[in-house]
Amino acid sequence: MDQRGEPPRLRQYVVARTRLVGSGLVVGLVLGGVGMVGWTLYTGDARSSEATVFALGALVFGFGLLGWSGSILAGRGIEAMQEQMDTRSNWTERDSRRAMARICGSGGGIMVGASLVAALF
């Protein structure tokens, strides 16, 4: 235990997960902001641009969430099938979950970024 009373392993776990989702969130914030500005310049309508970019962010978030849960449900079966078929693939359940968590973070960031830029317009 450290000075604050929490086990170091828990802190490492939380830091790793926060870094994983946070990196996607930062990328999403930038994409949402740039997408909002770009779409507003293209269409000339900030309200519809916010709705469009926010909806695309929600779509990305939903895809990531669905993929993450699918990785958990079917991951071991897919790994076993690949081992049985000797496909020599590097796909793992863990890597798939990490990728989908990053995609979820990006989708959330796009939604927040579009909302922040819309508040400024």
Please report, for the chain, the start and end positions of each structural domain, with discontinuous segments joined by +: 18-119
- SS3 letters for the chain? CCCCCCCHHHHHHHHHHHHHHHHHHHHHHHHHHHHHHHHHHHHCCHHHHHHHHHHHHHHHHHHHHHHHHHHHHHHHHHHHHHHHHCCCCCCCHHHHHHHHHHHHHHHHHHHHHHHHHHHHC
The predicted-structure confidence for 39-63, as pLDDT tens digits, reads as follows 999 999 999 999 999 999 999 999 9
Total-model pTM: 0.82
Lowest mean pLDDT among 10-14, 54-58, 61-65, 112-116: 10-14
